[in-house]
Structure 1
């Protein structure tokens, strides 16, 4: 029997996912979490084989949660299950270590297939996401934000949310000096100097809609 943990800030979604997962032979849901912080704590205690996680959640978002969970020696398989189909989010999640990226807008059979693939040590992308990646791969247009490292991207999302350097440092458990360094680096890469420029880049990359909800990636 393989164990599963579900991470989503909506209880109805967690309930639905639990019912779906437990219909699959040899899978058992042993834990749930509504935020990235709780997810990490639950993972260290329960050590599930598979984590199904949303990207946009209060506090530490999905990308940072994936990175933290996979920093452990006994790392699980991770499936991102989200409504966000923007390529930048797909890239950052997969770079953080996710094994699959599934859209909530797709049929639930898509998630079941992703689970089967991932538990067989394969990768999986929803068809819509795979098509977008294929189109982008033949395009020479690369958004500047895609050049950010995983940590720079996380700091960028928090800055767009309006958080201060000290607040970000506390949330990510790193020093304010380190956050300030990431802030300088991302501004240089994006060629921005003001909060207005931050918002413009957030709109272009599809991040701003998440921040309006008070959630982070």
Structure 2
């Protein structure tokens, strides 16, 4: 069955993708009294998201950015390649300033944190499902003026994977822990670390941590 975006006159049919069952249950409970919104599928890893999308008619995907298997950015890019009209709303524990711009540039239609109020979530779901965009004024401004910036911060020179590894290093995780979490080899993570240090003109993890704190990235 081909995935398609349903019109606003029909129910908003949602797939929730998050590896925490309690969070998925909480969302289902939150939407249970909204007659225009229906949770029709759930996924707990990146590969499962893509499989479920192919079998459903969806209005919207609500996606966490950290799940087993394919990471959030990979999932967003693949969804937008296969189903360019299917909106994606990111819900994450991470603050907007860490990931929102990257995910919206990758094709997500909106970004909000898991601490957002229910009214904010409902507004975002309805707006994004109808083809709109949802982000805070700060993120919207950053996106609008990004093309004018000539002296971007060093962390914005990193690739998506490098940025992900950089933040994990800045949070104090070891290379082994990062490798296990991302299902990559320690050698691959070590290579990413070397490239990160080179691009950011640094020599030690302590410098990365200090930089991340200064830019409020952790």
Shared fold by TM > 0.5?
Answer: yes
How many matched pairs? Answer: 206
SS in 2 for 1:121: coil
What does 1:91-130 align with in structure 2 at a 5 Å threshold?
91-126=101-136
Match of 2:3 in 1: none
Alignment of 1:161-200 (within 5 A): 161-163=173-175, 171=183, 185-200=195-210
Task: Please list, as runs of the form range in 1=range in 2, the aligned pairs for 1:26-45 lying within 5 A after superposition.
Answer: 26-45=36-55
Residues 1:177 and 1:40: Cα distance change in structure 2 (over 3 Å): farther
Residue 8 of structure 1: CA displacement? 1.9
Structure 1: gaps spanning 5 or more residues: 209-217
Aligned equivalents of 1:141, 1:9: Cα separation in 2: 37
Question: Conserved in 2, the CA contact under 8 Å of 1:79 and 1:98?
Answer: yes
Structure with larger RCO (C-alpha < 8 A, sep 6+): 1
Q: How far, CA to CA, are the matches of 2:47 and 2:143 in structure 1?
A: 30
Instruction: Find the counterpart in structure 2 of residue 10 from structure 1.
Output: 20
Asked if 2 retains the 8 angstrom alpha-carbon contact of 1:8 and 1:34, the reply is yes
Q: Which has the larger radius of gyration?
A: 2
Question: Greater shift after overlay, 151-160 or 96-105?
Answer: 151-160
Distance 2:84 2:95 in 1: 29
- 1:52 CA drift (Å): 0.8
Q: CA deviation at 1:148?
A: 2.3
C-alpha RMSD of the superposition: 4.0
